[in-house]
Amino acid sequence: MRQLILLLALSNFAGLCAAASAETGAALYARHCASCHGANLEGQPDWRSPKADGTYPAPPHDAEGHTWHHDDAMLQDYMTRGGQAVLDDMGVSFRSAMPAFGEVLSPVKITSILDFIKSTWPDRIRQARDERLRPAP
């Protein structure tokens, strides 16, 4: 009986930890990302049109955006090193206004923000993403 109680307590604890890490991702998103990407991941208005300085507004991270087109490694890199460094490495000529967060947020925190963003995607987007990112046979 005692073991059973211990087991139940432990599994409850694991559940709480999982909930806590999802919450942390949401809270971190609210603090570091929402000012540009929107409290509801809706992005900035007219995000497809360049601004006068040649940079683009922050795109949405919800199903309307294109965040889900990219794999986790690329997104993590984008958040860590910022848009400009990643695009320069890829040889893409584009002026990015996406800041780097590697100095401010640990890799674990960046992953939890990414997990939060992914947790908001509907099933159809997750499936489309899986198909898109599946390596060719």
Measured from the CB of residue 2, what is the shortest distance to ligand HEC in angstroms? 45
Report residue 117 CA to chain centroid gap: 5
**Closest to 28 (Cα-Cα) out of 112, 121, 119, 108:** 112
Cβ proximity of 66 and 59 under 8 Å: yes
Q: From the CB of 90, what's the least distance to ligand HEC, in Å?
A: 11
**Residue owning tokens 């997990």:** 115
Name the amino acid, one letter, at 53.
D
Instruction: Write the binding mask 57 to 86 for ligand HEC: x where contact by CB under 6 A, - elsewhere.
Output: xxx-x---xxx--x----x--xx---x---
* Binding residue (CB under 6 A) for ligand HEC from 25, 38, 41, 101: 101
Complex with ligand HEC: residue 7 or 37, whichever CB lies closer: 37
Closer to ligand HEC by CB, 7 or 23: give it. 23
Q: In this structure, how many other beta carbons lie within 10 angstroms of the beta carbon of residue 41? A: 21
With contact defined as beta carbons under 8 Å apart, do 99 and 82 qualify? yes
**Site of interaction with ligand HEC (CB under 6 A):** 32-33, 35-37, 56-59, 61, 65-67, 70, 75, 78-79, 83, 96-99, 101, 113
